[in-house]
Structure 1
Amino acid sequence: MGLVDLPQELLLLVAGFSSENSINSLVQTSRTLHSALNSYLYQQNARTSQSSALLWAAREGSTTTALKSLSMGGDVNVITNNGVTPLLLATVRGHNEIVKLLRGTKRLKINQKGHHGFAPLSLAALSNNTTILEILLDACPVDLDTQDEDGRTPLSHAASRGHTQALEILLKTEQVNVDLQDEDGRTPLSHAASRGHTQALEILLKTEQVNVDLQDEHGRTPLSHAASRGHTQALEILLKTEQVNVDLQDEHGRTPLSYAAENGHTQALEILLRTGQADVESQDTNGCTPLFHAVEYGRKDVVEMFLKSGGVNVNSKDCVGRTPLSIASGQGYRAVVKVLLEIGQADQTALDDRTALDDRTALDASPARTALHAHHSTAGKAARLPLPSHERFDYRIRDLLD
């Protein structure tokens, strides 16, 4: 007598002494065993294997398996050691039907957070899956301002990626906090500005609920972030509101003009200077003006622009007594030195603390002397430092896709 000939009661008794893998192998050998043991297999899976069948169904998009698991006691809110739930898996993988199925279960915790504090709504906004976003929003109560471990909200994630459809869906609820700050004090508007997402900026500004000058924990504003990245269209959009303080300083006393100068964004500089509100002589906590920052990074075009625009003191000194000329000569920026001397008429005898010690003028430094007498514009090699990264690439959801 084979297994298929045993009564149902005996088959279940045999299954009770077998592993889940063994039972799974058995049910695949014949229709009889499948019919007799399949439901028992799902029950055991729910009881002893953390509803792994439901997690697999959510991952692969199998509604049949998901339905069977749920009907046999599968835990819709099961969470793995890695912080993964069925709803998070289905959301990040874009399985709309699975999300709809899970949302329809009475036991579902729609706001349950998992991996790095992500809630399903945040993942839907991140991936710009508008269908899933609307399915989740149809559930009640869903936390529209749910924050992950970095304090980022669904609106913040949508804004930083320029997902305009997701933004509009979230804003349409009229229940989101448009200016909710994350752990770094950044707002959705700040993230959109720093990445140059012009449509996202316009959508957020249209709500008339955003504070365009809201400073992050470092005192940076959306305008400051846009300027440092050279996002000219973003700058134009923000300035058009006529509500921004063009010269608002951060914790280091730096202004948007200062950051644009440092990074060599000439078009951004032109836009800021055109407002007539940007102070070219604004000093940071180290006594450095925007001209200093342009010189420090060898931005010859920016230095030339400042000098030709007028209004800058080419011989100003920072808190340790350095001048733009002494900095340029010390760094070996010959082209910058030449511009400072020929266009700016910089004082060659101006001493900083370092040169005063050995009684040398800025001109005595060999790079400067070379620049003055070379009569050609050989550019000094500017320091190529990476731009400050104020957003980290969200690699964290990659684990859910592996």
Structure 2
Amino acid sequence: MVSLIDLPEELLSATFGYLVSENDMNAIARTNRHLFGLFNPRLYRHNVECSNGSALTWAARYGHQNTARAILSAGACTDTIQSRIQGALIWAAEGGHGPIVELLLDYGADLKDGDALQAASHGGHESLVKLLIDNGADVNSHGGAYRSALQAASCKGYEPLMKLLIDNGADVNAQGGAYGSALLAASQEGHEQSVKLLIDSGADVNAQGGVYGNALQVASWNGYEQLVKLLISHGADVNTQGGALGSALQAACHGGHEELAELLINDGADVNAKGGDCGNALQVALLKGHQELVKLLISHGADVNAQGVQDKE
């Protein structure tokens, strides 16, 4: 009986052409080395022509350099692969797959939109961030979920990476994105040392942005007492209004943080200030059922007859 491997290559190729499923193609290609060498390039061409080059995205995401190289070689000049390269670059950058990032750059991946730099920064890949910057990535490019690479690194508390970005010109006060700014990102996630680095690098502690208003408000809402002290010691205004929470005191009351509320009051927070979605600090405490906070506020002069919004959840 003639085995599959004994058939002429022309006949094998013709047989392979009748296969529709890439799983079937892959199974035959992996039968032995001879068939792998014969069919694997055709498998990748089929992926480019019939599956929009999906193998490139998979390879970039999971760090399979040989697969990435093979699929690029199979369809590098096609519109299909060119349209996949940018997405693949982001996956490779997020995963820290430096060799694949370099390979994609060699095949024309564009760094102008800043998404790859943000992805590498969010992943904490310092050497890869440096590689991208060295290849022309703009540290202040705006876009994506985090608005900037510095904000992406700040929300994770990657201080060495943040310093690298700042040393390469990253704007510490850039606004926008999911958090509002790098300082708000670090404050939201409770990264005290990251906050200090940003302030020491020129970040405005009272800058408004994002949903919560400013860094002090978001730190107060989360109950980060040491971070609140740090911000106040660097000039944060305890009575600044803005965002959904209104003020730092209202934010602390919303989160039920009694000791933090007292700290803010002792630092000059106005217990009767109005703002945000809930009116004032007393109304927030009542709305959330924080009885001890209600007592604290009244003991510090909160007006029990003050009018304002009381029906918001």
Q: Which of residues 251, 255, 273 in structure 2 aligns to 1:316? A: 273
Cα distance change, pair 183–167 in 1 and its aligned pair in 2 (3 A) = closer
1:112 partner SS? helix
How far does the alpha carbon of each residue in 1:352-387 deviate from its partner, in whole angstroms, 9 at most, with x for none?
Answer: 3589xxxxxxxxxxxxxxxxxxxxxxxxxxxxx9xx
1:295 aligns with 2:253: yes
Q: Which residue of 2 aligns with 1:112?
A: 82
CA distance in 1, matches of 2:47, 2:162: 36
Tell me the residue number matched to 2:110: 143
- Distance across 1 between alignment mates of 2:14 and 2:131: 39
Equivalent residue number for residue 331 of structure 1: 288
Distance 1:136-1:318 versus aligned 2 partners, 3 A rule: closer
Q: Which secondary structure does the structure 1 equivalent of 2:274 belong to?
A: coil
Q: 2:101: which partner in 1?
A: 133
Contact 1:57/1:63, CA 8 A, preserved across alignment: no
Is the contact made by 1:42 and 1:72 (CA closer than 8 Å) also made in structure 2? no
Distance 1:287 1:129 in 2: 40
- Paired amino acid for 2:139: V
Q: Residue type matched to 1:96 in 2?
A: Q
Answer with 1 or 2: which has the greater Rg: 1
Q: Which residue of 1 aligns with 2:67?
A: 98
> Matches of residues 171-186 of structure 1 in structure 2 within 5 Å?
171-173=133-135, 175-184=136-145, 186=147
Calculate percent identity across the aligned residue pairs: 22
SS of the aligned residue for 1:216 comes to coil
Find 2:172's aligned residue among 212, 236, 241. 212
Offset of residue 136 of structure 1? 3.1
Gap change, CA 1:217 and 1:121, over 3 Å in 2: closer
Residues 148 and 177 in structure 2, CA contact (< 8 A), matched pair in contact too: no
Determine whether 1:168 maps to 2:139: no
1:158 correspondence with 2:120:
yes
For the residues of structure 2 that align with 1:64 and 1:245, how far apart are their CA atoms? 64
Instruction: Give the direction of change, closer, same or farther, for the CA distance of 1:54–1:222 in structure 2 (3 Å limit).
Output: farther
Q: Distance in 1 between matches of 2:277 and 2:47?
A: 61
Q: Structure 1 length normalisation: TM-score?
A: 0.65
Distance in 2 separating the partners of 1:156 and 1:188: 4
Identify the residue that residue 11 of structure 2 maps to in structure 1.
Answer: 40
Which of these residues, 179, 190, 200, is aligned with residue 161 of structure 2?
A: 200
Which residue does 1:236 correspond to in 2? 196
Q: Secondary structure at the match of 1:223?
A: helix
- In structure 2, how many angstroms separate the alpha carbons of the residues matched to 1:41 and 1:185? 51
Q: Aligned partners of 1:354 and 1:89: how far apart in 2?
A: 51
1:24 equivalent in structure 2: none
2:58 paired with 1:69:
no
Alpha-carbon spacing, 1:253–1:96, altered in 2? closer, same or farther (3 Å) = closer
Distance in 1 (CA, whole Å) between partners of 2:16 and 2:222 is 58
On the 8 A contact 2:245/2:251 being kept in 1, the answer is: no
The answer as to 2:90 corresponding to 1:122 is yes
Question: Secondary structure in 2 aligned to 1:258?
Answer: helix
Q: Which residue does 1:88 correspond to in 2?
A: 57
Match of 1:275 in 2: 234
CA distance in 2, matches of 1:52, 1:321: 58
Q: Deviations over 1:311-360 (max 9, x none)?
A: 22122233799442343234321221233244xx22455433589xxxxx
Query: Unaligned 5+ residue runs, structure 2?
Result: none
Choose the corresponding residue for 2:301, options 335, 346, 368: 346
The alpha-carbon deviation at position 241 of structure 1 amounts to 0.9
TM-score normalized with structure 2 length: 0.81
